[in-house]
Amino acid sequence: MSTALPTLPVLHSEWIKIRSLRGTFWSLISILVATAGIQTLAAALTGRAHEGSLGDDPLLAAFYGLNFGQIAAIAFGASAFSAEFHHGGLRTSLTAVPRRTRFYLSKILMVGGLALVMGLVTGFVTFVAGQAFMGPYALGLGSPGSLRAIVGSGLYLTVMALFAAGLTAVLRSGVVVLGILIPFVLMVSFIVGEATSGLGQYMPDRAGQAMLRLEPQGGLGPWGGLGVMVLWAVVTVVGGWIAVRRRDA
């Protein structure tokens, strides 16, 4: 199994791929820009209007911008993999790295690592910048749940990127994955949550956002909710690994 593990040269090559693909690289940067930017703008415009102006749960409201940043995370995960399925890219990659498991794990590790770093930075900047405009309703880093939510938002964005990456490896199309996941997290999850009393909390986005809530809703606590979201991502990542191993390049 050790012969299939990622190596530094292969990881470096995956970083070069991501850095050289403008769409992929800028989707990574957009995670921070969209999340922190929209959070700051929303707080500046309405944050001081009245208590709860951005939502009943003040901790969840501190990460309102995550609703938009997650789209960038999905785009990053999808585009990082979809490039392999254009113009013989996968065939070239497998020529350089014949062990498919090593190739796949290296790409997943690089996508997850970059998303984690960007996600944690995004979580911190989003919280601090947004709360700077909340006036008397602002939360501090020492407020209950704040540090957990900052870390949780970074983990949420990371898992969302991996969820998209694994699904792209299965479907071999970033466009199809974006067409599925963006409506899924923006509309389907909400509809399912409204239609069923308890099932909605197990949808990946709702489960993961339990990390951002001051008080848990339903039967899932913060870490339990993140665990459910991770399970969703594990299914697609394992599915992607099986697809890469078994399908022709």
What is the end-to-end Cα distance of the chain in Å, rounded?
22
**The two three-digit tokens of residue 114, written as one number:** 């970059």
Whether the CB-CB separation of 153 and 224 falls below 8 Å is answered with: no
pLDDT of residue 191: 73
> What's the pLDDT band for 139 if we cut at 50, 70, 90?
very high
Mean pLDDT calculated for residue range 81-97 = 84
Rounded to 5 degrees, what are φ and ψ at 162? Answer: -70, -35
pLDDT of residue 92: 86
Q: What is the pTM of this model?
A: 0.92
Choice between 185 and 156, residue whose per-residue pLDDT is larger: 156
> By C-alpha distance, which of 158, 34, 27, 154 is closest to 83?
27
> What's the pLDDT band for 202 if we cut at 50, 70, 90?
confident
User: Does the pLDDT value for residue 195 go beyond 80?
Assistant: no
